[in-house]
Amino acid sequence: MPSAKDFFAYAAVSVPMADDHFEAIFEIPDSHRLVQVRSKTRGGIMSANYWRHDEYGSDGKLAARYESFEERSAESGATRSGWHKYDQSGQLLHVSESLAER
C-alpha cells in the first residue's frame, strides 16, 4: 500500500491545489492575502505543475513573491517539489525542497 507521502506526491501533480494549501505551506499570516498569478501544467515523460503567487500585506502592498513546482516521472513515479520566496525587489529569501507544510 502506498504511503501518505506517496499519495500526496501523486495527488499534487494530478490535481490542482487549493489556495489555502499554499497559504499553509508558505505560512502566510491571516492579515495578508495570497494571490495566484500564474499556473502552468506540463504532461509527458516528466509531468509537472508550476505556480507563481504574490503575497500582499494588510496595507495592500506587495510583501513577497513565490514560485513553486511539482514534477513526477511517468516511468519511475519519482516526484520532486519545492518553492522559492522572493522579496519585493526579487532578492531570494527562502528555498524549500518540498511543498509539504512546514
Q: What ranges do the domains of the chain cover?
A: 4-96
Give the model's pLDDT for residue 2: 38
* CA 86/CA 67 separation, integer angstroms: 8
**pTM to 2 decimals?**
0.77
52-76 pLDDT, tens digit per residue, is 999 999 999 999 999 999 999 988 9
Note whether 100 and 8 are within 8 A (CB): yes
Q: How buried is 2 (Cβ within 10 angstroms: 0-12 exposed, 13-18 middle, 19+ buried)?
A: exposed
- Closest alpha carbon to 5 in 70, 67, 49: 70
